[in-house]
C-alpha cells in the first residue's frame, strides 16, 4: 500500500496469512525515514531513470569543485563530443491528477508526460489517494500501476483521510471503544496537501463518513517555499533564478538543511530558539557566483552568513498554519454537531508549533486532540488495514451528484430555446444520487425508464456527474460524462411499453451500473471506462 503527497511517498505491506503491518523505512540515500521524495532524474535523452526519490533531488555541494562550478553548472556533463545538458529532476508530477488550474500545475519536460512519470516512478518502487482525487484521477493511477507491472489482480483504492481514520481507530483502540456513536475528525497534514474528514464510530469495528472529505494545498512544503522566498530576499531574484536553473540539486540540499536544522525543531517558543547562521560557503557555495550588486556587498560584509531569526521562521510558518486552521474550523462547524476528538496525522503534523497552534485554537471546542506514534506512516498503515478488512468502512459521503441523460420532447413552455436539438428533442439530467448524501457501501439507487423513441431497438444510459446538488441539463457547466451502458431492447412493436430498471451501486471505491429489461429479464452491467484527456 503506497501513499503519496506531491512531495514524498511511502509504503507499507502485510501478508494476509500473517497480517502484521510493516512500514518501509529504507530508501535510496535515506535510512530510518518513512517517506522519500516524489522525484525522478532521467538520463540526457529521457530514455531511462538514473535516480529516484531523495537522491534525484538533493545534492550535497562539493567545495573542491567550486571553481569548476563557476564555469559550468551542475546540470552539464561531458562526453567525447563535448558538453551535454543533464535534465533537471522531474518532480511534483502527481499534481497533474489534482483539481488544479493548468497554470498552477508544475511544468514538465516536453519529453515526459505526467502519466509516464507516474508509471516510471511506480516501476522503481513497488494505493491510497488524496481526498481531492476524482474518478478520472483514480482511473489514470490504475492504468499507471498496471503499466508499471505492479499488479495482476484488481487494484483497490481508499482515500488518504479514510486510511488515516482506520489507523487512528486501531492505534487509539481503547479510546474508540468508549466512543461508539461519537464524531471525530482526522486531519492528514502532508507535504503538499491537507485532507480532512469527519467520521462516526458505528460500532467498535466500523466507521461511517459523516461529511464530505475536504482538503487544500497548504502542507509542510509551503513552509519550504516561504524559506526560499526569504533566501531570495537576501540574495536577489536573479540569483535565485539562476540557482534554480543551473544548480537545482544544491537548492534542494539548501532546503533539506533548513528542514533538518530549523523547520523540524521549531516549537514556536522564543525560549527554545537559537538564532541560526546559514553559511552559504558551506551549504550552497555555488550561490556566490550568482549574487551581485547590493546583495553581494551585504553578504560579503557578513562573510556570506545569513542570520535566520525567530521572527523570520515564525513568518514562514504562520501563513501556512492559518490555512490549516481555517480548514479544520470549516469541518468542525459543519452541521453544528460536537466533535469528540481531532487526530493529526501526516509528516507536517509532527511540527510542535503546528500542534501548539491547533490545540490553542480548538481545545475549548474539542475534548481530545491527539497525534499517534509514527503519524507520517498513518496513511500507509491504515491503507493496509483497509486492504485486510474492507468491511471496516460502512458508509461514505458522495462528492458528486450522479444522474443519467434523458431524451425528451422539447417544450416551448418550459425549456430554453437554445438547448433545442435539431430533431426537436432536448437532453435533460435525471438525478439518481445527490452530492453530500451519506450512502452505505454497496447501496443501490434505481429507477424505471422507457425508450424515448417508440421503435428503438436499444437503450443507452449515459451517466453524468456534477458537483452541483441540483442540475437540469447535461450541458450545464461542471457536468462530466462518467460512462455509458447500452442494452438491447427487442420487441419494437411494444413501443413505449418496455420498462428498464436502471441502477447505480456505490461499492468500495467504484461505481457499478446495472440495467434490466423488465419484460425479458435480461440484465446488463458495467463499471465505467472513464473519459479523460491527456492534458
Alpha helix ranges (H) inside 334-448: 352-362, 378-388
301 and 347 inside one domain: no
Q: In which residue are the cell numbers 429489461 written?
A: 517
23 and 131 inside one domain: yes
Q: Indicate the number of domains in the chain.
A: 4
- Strand residue runs (E) in 24-68: 26-27, 30-31, 36-37, 39-42, 49-52
CATH number of the domain to which 362 belongs: 3.30.420.40
Check if the beta carbon of residue 286 is closer than 8 Å to that of residue 61: yes
User: pLDDT tens digits for 26-39?
Assistant: 666 665 565 667 77
Give the span between the Cα atoms of 192 and 219, in whole angstroms: 4
At which of 369, 395, 421 does a domain end?
Answer: 395
Give the span between the Cα atoms of 191 and 224, in whole angstroms: 10
pLDDT tens across the length of the chain (535 residues): 444 444 566 666 565 666 666 766 666 666 556 566 777 778 877 777 777 676 777 666 665 444 333 333 344 444 444 444 567 787 767 667 666 665 667 777 888 787 777 777 666 543 455 555 566 666 676 666 667 666 655 667 777 888 889 989 888 877 776 777 889 999 999 888 898 989 998 887 889 998 888 888 899 999 999 999 999 999 999 999 999 999 888 898 999 899 999 999 999 999 999 999 999 999 999 999 999 999 999 999 999 999 999 999 999 999 999 999 999 999 998 877 889 999 999 989 999 999 999 999 999 999 999 999 889 888 888 888 888 888 888 999 998 999 999 999 999 999 999 999 999 999 999 999 999 999 999 999 999 999 988 888 899 999 999 999 999 999 999 999 988 888 888 888 888 888 999 999 987 667 889 999 998 888 988 875 433 333 3
413 and 503 inside one domain: yes
Sign (positive/negative) of CA torsion 293, 296, 301, 305? positive
Position 72 in a domain: yes
Helix or strand run (H / E) with residue 189: strand 183-189
348 and 203 inside one domain: yes
Rg (CA), the chain: 27
Position 533 in a domain: no
CA angle 249, 103, 93 (to 5 degrees): 45
42 and 182 inside one domain: no
pTM confidence score: 0.71
Question: What is the residue range of 382's domain?
Answer: 160-209+325-395
Helices (H) and strands (E) counted in the chain, each on its own, are 13, 31
CATH number of the domain to which 453 belongs: 2.60.34.10
User: pLDDT tens digits for 306-324?
Assistant: 999 999 999 999 999 999 9
Nearest to 325, CA basis, from 189, 184, 163:
189
Amino acid at each position: 500500500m503506497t501513499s503519496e503527497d506531491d512531495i514524498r511517498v511511502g509504503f507499507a505491506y502485510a501478508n494476509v496469512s500473517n497480517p502484521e503491518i510493516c512500514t518501509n523505512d529504507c530508501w535510496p540515500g535515506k535510512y530510518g525515514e518513512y517517506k522519500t521524495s516524489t522525484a525522478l532524474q532521467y538520463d540526457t535523452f529521457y530514455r531511462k531513470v538514473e535516480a529516484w526519490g531523495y537522491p534525484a533531488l538533493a545534492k550535497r555541494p562539493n567545495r573542491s569543485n567550486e571553481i569548476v562550478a563557476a564555469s559550468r553548472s551542475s546540470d552539464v556533463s561531458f562526453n567525447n563530443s563535448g558538453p551535454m545538458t543533464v535534465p533537471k529532476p522531474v518532480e511534483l508530477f502527481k499534481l497533474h491528477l489534482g483539481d488544479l488550474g493548468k497554470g498552477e500545475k508544475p511544468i514538465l519536460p516536453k519529453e515526459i508526460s505526467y502519466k509516464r512519470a507516474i508509471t516510471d516512478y511506480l516501476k522503481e518502487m513497488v494505493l491510497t489517494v488524496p481526498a481531492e482525487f476524482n474518478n478520472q484521477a483514480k482511473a489514470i493511477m490504475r492504468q499507471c500501476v498496471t503499466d508499471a507491472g505492479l499488479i495482476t489482480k484488481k487494484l483497490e483504492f481508499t482515500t488518504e483521510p479514510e486510511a488515516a481514520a482506520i489507523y487512528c481507530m486501531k492505534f487509539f483502540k481503547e479510546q474508540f471503544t468508549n466512543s461508539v456513536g461519537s464524531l471525530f475528525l482526522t486531519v492528514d497534514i502532508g507535504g503538499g496537501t491537507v485532507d480532512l474528514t469527519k467520521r462516526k464510530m458505528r460500532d467498535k469495528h466500523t466507521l461511517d463518513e459523516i461529511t464530505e472529505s475536504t482538503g487544500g494545498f497548504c502542507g509542510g512544503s509551503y513552509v519550504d517555499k516561504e524559506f526560499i522566498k526569504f533566501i531570495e530576499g537576501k540574495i536577489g531574484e536573479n540569483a535565485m533564478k539562476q540557482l534554480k536553473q543551473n544548480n537545482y540539486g544544491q537548492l534542494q540540499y539548501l532546503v533539506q538543511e533548513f528542514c533538518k536544522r530549523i523547520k523540524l525543531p521549531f516549537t514556536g517558543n522564543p525560549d527554545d530558539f537559537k538564532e541560526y547562521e546559514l553559511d552559504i560557503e558551506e551549504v550552497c557555495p555555488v550561490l556566490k557566483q550568482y549574487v551581485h550588486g547590493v546583495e553581494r556587498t551585504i553578504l560579503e560584509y557578513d562573510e556570506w552568513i545569513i542570520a535566520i531569526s525567530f521572527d523570520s521562521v515564525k513568518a514562514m510558518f504562520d501563513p501556512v498554519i492559518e490555512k490549516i486552521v481555517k480548514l479544520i474550523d470549516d469541518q468542525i462547524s459543519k452541521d453544528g454537531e460536537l466533535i469528540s476528538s481531532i487526530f493529526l496525522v501526516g509528516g507536517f503534523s509532527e511540527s510542535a508549533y503546528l500542534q501548539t497552534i491547533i490545540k490553542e485554537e480548538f481545545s475549548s471546542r474539542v475534548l481530545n486532540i491527539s497525534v499517534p506514534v509514527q503519524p507520517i506512516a498513518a496513511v500507509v498503515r491504515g491503507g493496509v488495514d483497509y486492504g485486510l478488512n474492507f468491511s471496516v468502512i460502512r458508509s461514505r459521503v458522495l462528492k458528486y451528484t450522479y444522474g443519467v441523460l434523458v431524451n425528451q420532447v422539447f417544450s416551448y413552455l418550459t425549456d430554453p430555446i437554445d438547448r433545442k436539438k435539431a430533431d426537436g428533442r432536448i437532453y435533460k439530467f435525471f438525478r439518481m444520487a445527490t452530492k453530500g448524501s451519506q450512502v452505505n457501501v454497496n447501496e443501490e439507487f434505481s429507477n424505471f425508464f422507457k425508450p424515448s423513441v417508440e421503435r428503438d431497438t436499444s437503450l443507452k444510459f449515459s451517466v453524468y456527474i456534477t458537483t452541483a446538488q441540483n442540475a437540469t441539463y447535461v450541458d450545464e457547466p461542471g457536468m462530466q460524462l462518467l460512462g455509458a451502458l447500452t442494452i438491447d431492447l427487442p420487441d419494437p412493436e411494444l413501443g413505449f411499453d418496455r420498462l428498464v430498471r436502471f441502477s447505480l451501486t456505490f461499492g468500495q471505491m467504484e461505481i457499478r451500473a446495472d440495467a434490466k429489461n423488465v419484460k425479458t429479464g435480461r440484465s446488463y452491467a458495467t463499471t465505467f471506462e472513464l473519459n479523460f484527456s491527456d492534458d
